[in-house]
Structure 1
Amino acid sequence: MDELLGKVADSLEEGTVPARIFNDPQVHRLEMERIFTRCWVFVGHVSEIASPGDYMLRYIGQDEFIVTRDENNEIHVLFNRCAHRGSPICRVEKGNATHFRCPYHAWIYKNNGEWNGAPLRARAYRKLDPKEWGLQAAPLVDTVHGLIFACLDPEGPTLREYLGDMAWYLDVIFGLSPEGMSVIGEPQRWQVPTNWKMGADNFVGDSYHVASLHRSIEEVGAFPDIDVTGGNGPGKHVSFPQGHGLLLNSGYLPEPWDKGGFPPEVSATFDLDRLTPLQREFVAEHAVTHLLIFPNLAFLRVPAVTAPGEMPAVFTLLRQWQPLESDQVVNWNWMLRWNSAPEEFNETGYIGGLSQHGPSGILEQDDGLAWSGAPDVGRSAFARKREVKFNYQLGFDGMSDYSVDTEYPYPGTATTTMLGELPQLTMYRRWLKEMVRA
């Protein structure tokens, strides 16, 4: 493994990535230990557990956790395994409960994780210390704009430190309305034969694939001028040393509604005074189309139509790739609504968003098929023998019209065009940093 990671380091210097890291069981196990137990990982939205006692089952890496809101409105992320023999104590996807009872020996836990009893307690456990036998919990839990994150490393940074300058953009994305956003319905889930890094690779800043892979959505009249989105437009990449990245396009606020902006009845509910002067300047000209918070949380906000010729509605979604194996993930999809917006607008955006990026969405079918290629090569005996590498040299060292924009006035390292792969290379450097750190 040390030899392979050394080859990754050398490859990144030349703008390539070894195919093996996209489907290797040893790499996968090391990722679970060194990335998903150290990084801050998204586990849900506060609107999903809005009331005391609400809970839901979520995953960090391959481990299942119960995300709960206790009677004091504090949020906990509890390892879903009994301290007695390791049986799952909760087998229901979501609900409301003050306690959880293990089905094996009926040990009981409060919804904040504290041990609270067992059968024949007075006779069987006279000397047991309840403080030592509660559910194991994520040591660090925090929220930003309603997004719940957890970190399994007690020595980890704060969430704001982990996000770095990406927090500035989250303020812009989610801070437009004082009433905030909430999840519409349940998150959709479906399994895809790929490696979790392929989804992250795509959303951290890949605009180059759009015009070719997703051409059909323009052909059916649901996404005009796709060439502009696919690398030929005025957009930029912005990357961050933490491995996060985003793609910028022209803004939705000043844009006329019939060209993909927010309608007046929605934008009128926004309060730009909540932003700093620099952030207000940003939203007047730019919009974050999609982003990645390393390792596996993505965001997408684009206009969509429910049928050709209809007015577009800007939808917002969150996406996560839950790793199952080195070549299998579960896609999680959260569609969001503006709490201040008319329900008709939210409903139209929901339908348009699902038509593009739902389980049977037209773009999602494209991506799922394309993303299966890397793990196929990663498992190939021939490819391993030849030490096949993937090319990440678009925009690399003068390869294309793509360089750092030294006049970009906002946080992060921005580029002059979208015709490059700086965010992807930055993401893999962060991945490597965690993988080599014992």
Structure 2
Amino acid sequence: MTLSIIDTGKFPRLEDMTKSELIQHLKETVKPEEGIIPAYIFSHPKVYELEMEKIFLKSWLFLAHKSEIPNKGDFVTRQMGEHSVIVTHGSDGDIHVLLNVCTHRGMKLCRMDHGNEKSFVCPYHGFNFKNTGDLAGVPFQKEVYGDTLDKSKMGLKEIRHDEYAGLIFATFNEEAVPLDEYLGDIKWYLDLAFNRAEMEVQGPPMKWVVNASWKLGSDNTISDSYHTLVSHGSIAKLGLVPSGDYSKYGYQIYTGNGHGLNLGMPNPHFAFPEELTEEYKERLSPEQWGVLEKLKNMIVCVSPHMMILISSMDFKGKQVSNTSFRLWQPKGPDKIEITQWQIVEKNATKEWKELSNQTNSLTFGASGIFEQDDSENWTDITQNSKGAYHLQENTFFNYTQGMHKKPVDDFVGPGIAYENKFNEANARAFFRNWLDQVTAE
């Protein structure tokens, strides 16, 4: 992280700005193409409020993997920005995303993380809703309402949703482009994680809280392989990876709409179950199989706040890959709840699944080696971005790495690809997309 100062005069307090003034201030101070990202955007409450309105109310947001709710009645509760939703496998056989708010008096309806229920009963007055969202029953309805209550108009609010590769997304924005268009070319890479074989999640997700900006997680995912040399240098010393600069080799790719990835390759060893090779070849295109066959790691950001990771390492005498995905769920301007899932090939052996889970727990997750380093970095950066001084002097972070580099035109996958992952081109593109979103009319 490099701190610099722009001599542009004194700035008024953001707390005193109207929304239009704040938007204008962002347009004038955030300059992604120049690699200038002001410190204040990572922690200021006014910026966070704008993000909740302009990004998390407008974008497609990942919620769940379909294998989490395989049976009728299965459900999970998740967050969409500041709002709780219930993702259900309804008794009608369909997937439903329901606002977790009783339509009678606004009580939170379901307080469990997951389960199987035919209906949800409000703990306030006992209104009973089917797992499809329909209002099924009201205590003493005839006595207290007579004939005035129309239950057909009081079902739970159903949120627009769609899915790709078993991933369930939803949006509050009825005017948003279709999910397929929103994801665009990033789907080619999602296939490597979720469509290479029949996949299944390994139990409920792990959750923990970090005192950091959600944007730092997405920024780190989409662009920053460079920090691995220093922040994660201990893994090379432990012999878990060949050398400290192993993270440099491969490609950085941007696919649009704030989505992008770092692709580590080549890998001299095949990091996936050999017995599933034919399944991989059947489900993937020849070009995708060619990438998977040589894949060392892949770190994908689906904007705004989803990360997908394929990682591999030498473990117990063999090369073992693990696949996980997570959300950087905002809990305030300086706090995130990280929710992480582990996913594995359904047809893999029990031994492989255990090895894959063990390598993931060793490296990522609340107790992982990588996780401790990253959390410390993001916590400090978020804390250091606060304060009147940074607003007064317009302190900014330097995102100019790789500006002298040109994309390559011979990579087999879609997107704007740069050879060598030490580059901040993706971060500049991510923050351009972020700025366009928060300043949109």
TM-score (norm 2): 0.91
* Preserved CA contact (<8 Å) 1:49 1:56: yes
Q: Deviations over 1:163-217 (max 9, x none)?
A: 010112222332222xx11111221111001000000001112110011100111
Q: What is aligned with 1:246? A: 261
* Preserved CA contact (<8 Å) 1:317 1:336: yes
Q: What is aligned with 1:425? A: 428
* Preserved CA contact (<8 Å) 1:377 1:383: no
For residues 415 and 39 of structure 2, the distance between their equivalents in structure 1, rounded to whole angstroms, comes to 29
For residues 214 and 120 of structure 2, the distance between their equivalents in structure 1, rounded to whole angstroms, comes to 32
For residues 8 and 316 of structure 1, the distance between their equivalents in structure 2, rounded to whole angstroms, comes to 38
Q: What is aligned with 1:367? A: 374
1:132 aligns with 2:135: no
Correspondence for 1:12 among 11, 28, 32: 32
Q: What is aligned with 1:188? A: 206
Correspondence for 1:358 among 365, 371, 376: 365
Q: What is aligned with 1:276? A: 285
Q: Deviations over 1:123-147 (max 9, x none)?
A: 3332222232111121x21121111
Q: What is aligned with 2:242? A: 224
**Residue 49 of structure 1, CA deviation:** 0.9
Q: 1:160 to 1:8 in 2, by over 3 A?
A: farther
Q: What is aligned with 1:82? A: 102
**Residue 281 of structure 1, CA deviation:** 4.0
* Preserved CA contact (<8 Å) 1:246 1:288: no
For residues 412 and 366 of structure 2, the distance between their equivalents in structure 1, rounded to whole angstroms, comes to 38
* Preserved CA contact (<8 Å) 1:395 1:422: yes
**Residue 285 of structure 1, CA deviation:** 4.6
* Preserved CA contact (<8 Å) 2:328 2:338: yes
For residues 266 and 105 of structure 2, the distance between their equivalents in structure 1, rounded to whole angstroms, comes to 54
For residues 348 and 286 of structure 1, the distance between their equivalents in structure 2, rounded to whole angstroms, comes to 18
For residues 234 and 294 of structure 2, the distance between their equivalents in structure 1, rounded to whole angstroms, comes to 29
* Preserved CA contact (<8 Å) 1:269 1:341: no
Q: 1:133 to 1:251 in 2, by over 3 A?
A: farther
**Residue 286 of structure 1, CA deviation:** 4.8
1:256 aligns with 2:269: yes
Give the letter aligned to residue 269 of structure 2.
Answer: P
**Residue 222 of structure 1, CA deviation:** 2.0
**Residue 313 of structure 1, CA deviation:** 1.1
Q: What is aligned with 2:407? A: 404
For residues 406 and 46 of structure 1, the distance between their equivalents in structure 2, rounded to whole angstroms, comes to 36
For residues 274 and 286 of structure 2, the distance between their equivalents in structure 1, rounded to whole angstroms, comes to 22
1:59-208 mapped onto 2 (5 Å cutoff): 59-125=79-145, 126-138=147-159, 140-177=160-197, 180-208=198-226
TM-score (norm 1): 0.91
For residues 301 and 202 of structure 2, the distance between their equivalents in structure 1, rounded to whole angstroms, comes to 21
Give the letter aligned to residue 247 of structure 1.
Answer: N
Indicate the percent of aligned positions where both proteins have the same amino acid.
34
**Residue 57 of structure 1, CA deviation:** 1.0
4+ runs of 1 displaced by more than 6 Å?
none
Q: 1:387 to 1:135 in 2, by over 3 A?
A: same
Count how many residue pairs are aligned between Structure 1 and Structure 2.
419
Structure 1: gaps of 5 or more residues: none
Secondary structure of the 1:408 match is coil
* Preserved CA contact (<8 Å) 2:73 2:117: yes
Q: Deviations over 1:284-305 (max 9, x none)?
A: 4556611000001101111135
Q: 1:222 to 1:278 in 2, by over 3 A?
A: closer
Q: Deviations over 1:43-90 (max 9, x none)?
A: 111111111001111111121111111012211111111111111111
Structure 2: gaps of 5 or more residues: 1-21
Secondary structure of the 2:279 match is coil
Q: What is aligned with 2:396? A: 389
For residues 32 and 284 of structure 2, the distance between their equivalents in structure 1, rounded to whole angstroms, comes to 37
For residues 8 and 67 of structure 1, the distance between their equivalents in structure 2, rounded to whole angstroms, comes to 39
Q: What is aligned with 1:336? A: 343
1:314 aligns with 2:324: no
